Amino acid sequence: MSIKTYQQQEARQGRLLPVVIISALVAWLVIGTSSNAHAADRDEAKRIHDRLVGTPPSAACLDQLQTKVEANNEFGAALDAITNDGVGDECIGQDFYRVTLKNFITPWTNEEQSVFAPLNDYTATVIGVIKDELDFRRILYDNILYTGDGITPANSANSNAHYQAMDDQNSNLQAILRLTTQPSAAAAAGIMSTRQAAKAFFVDGTNRAMFRFTLLNHLCVDLEQIKDTTRSPDRVRQDVSRSPGGDSRIYMNSCVGCHAGMDPMAQAFAFYQYTYTTDVEAGQLTYTDGVVQPKYLINSNNFEFGYVTEHNPPDNPGDRWDNYWRAGPNSALGWDWAELNGQSNPDDATGTGAGAASMGRELADSYAFAQCQVKKVFKNVCLREPIDQADRDQINNMITSFSTGYNLKNIFAESAVYCRGG
């Protein structure tokens, strides 16, 4: 081989060697990038699942969610994590209902706001409404109740044993909860007329507790936050002293701010009582249609010129309610929100009515109700309050989304997608 030929061969090899190395490097980068993207999608799918369910997904479930994430359908992945429709689903999701939702709802069912309480008809009904994707407003006014299919003992008006059995057996609530109606159609007002709500908020007292805790749990406001001393006190009952401690200024500057708005609303519960003998756990809801409960007339000597709750239809039904907060600063709660969004009942836009169901509809159709549900879900899924403008924008978007169909399951999914991290 001549020197010239040798030099030409070496030159060719010198040019080829970098090409081979570069080609191999490009192939490695492509494979590595694809692998990293695959792993990132899988991690994202798992984070969405963990936000909602809290227990590790099976490999098959994770495969299913990852497929949705890879297709840029994170919302679909979130719904898959908590919904098993029996059509090729690999995700069970039962812990979302049995653990996540139970812990989310249970504090609403007792004055202590404790999560450490057994399953009951209030909690089970709200879980069922979310599970079946019903209009969530129905929890405050409709004749609905969820019981366990095939659970022994059967549901009873004076015992929680039916729901306790579901708790004790770690029942799959997604599979067994069935929609039915309440024992008394006349008394039905969503969760406010469940046995557990009655035991917690109608027991003894004056029934104002039911109104206060309904505001707190479902409009996310307490009475101190919305007291308004500019409302007329004409419906404040006799049991409220007009000069507590001998000082009428306390009543005029403080007490009336809550009672002027609360008492005409709480009159919707005038026929309700939780009746028991010696054991409060063995009691039941009592509804005396047309007969005002004696608790509405107690301590009449505190101020004999106060309002007397009487049943005198048609002009003055005993359970007539009026929303004085539709005017004044509490109009900011947005009482016409559902109407403005084309989602209201035309009969409930007047701010007055009779009975707990129509009063519950007044509360459920407000902007405060929609906002409250979204904020509670956001905090439950994201494990924090909204902290910046992006969070606040997300909250507002979800309020708009929620108000088109009041499907709270979708809000859980939307929150999980937003707070999945990465």
pLDDT, position 2: 52
Residues in CB range of 210: below 8 A, 6 or more apart: 192, 197, 201, 202, 266, 269, 272
DSSP secondary structure letter of residue 254: I
Residues in CB range of 39: below 8 A, 6 or more apart: none
- Report mean pLDDT in 10-residue bins for the chain, 422 residues: 51 51 48 64 96 92 95 96 78 92 98 97 98 98 98 97 97 96 97 98 97 98 97 98 95 96 98 97 97 98 97 93 97 92 68 96 97 98 96 98 97 97 68
What is the helix, strand, coil percentage profile of the chain, to 5? 55, 5, 35
On whether the pTM is more than 0.85, the answer is yes
- DSSP codes of every residue in 365-422: TSHHHHHHHHHHHHHHHHSS---SHHHHHHHHHHHHHHTTT--HHHHHHHHHHHT---
Rounded Cα–Cα distance for residues 244 and 294 (Å) = 23
Q: What is the mean pLDDT of the chain?
A: 91
CA dihedral for 173, 174, 178, 184, sign (positive or negative): positive
Helices (H) and strands (E) in the chain, counts: 18, 6
3-state DSSP call for residue 199? helix
Residues 349/341, Cβ–Cβ less than 8 Å: no
CA dihedral for 210, 213, 219, 222, sign (positive or negative): positive
3-state DSSP call for residue 190? coil
Closest CA to 217 of 139, 163, 164: 139
DSSP secondary structure letter of residue 152: S
Q: Alpha carbon 112 to chain centroid distance?
A: 18
Residues 64/406, Cβ–Cβ less than 8 Å: no
Peptide linkage before 346 cis (omega within 30 of 0): no
Residues in CB range of 272: below 8 A, 6 or more apart: 187, 193, 198, 202, 207, 210, 285, 286, 287, 293, 356
Residues 265/235, Cβ–Cβ less than 8 Å: no
Residues 176/166, Cβ–Cβ less than 8 Å: yes
Residues 314/340, Cβ–Cβ less than 8 Å: no
- Which residues face 307 on adjacent strands? 237
CA dihedral for 249, 253, 256, 258, sign (positive or negative): negative
- What is the per-residue pLDDT across 308-330, written as a single tens digit (0 to 9) for each? 999 999 888 999 999 999 999 99
3-state DSSP call for residue 266? helix
Q: What count of other Cβ atoms lies within 10 Å of the Cβ of residue 132?
A: 14
Structure tokens at 175: 């599979």
Residue 351's region, left for phi above 0, alpha for psi from -120 to 50, else beta, is: left
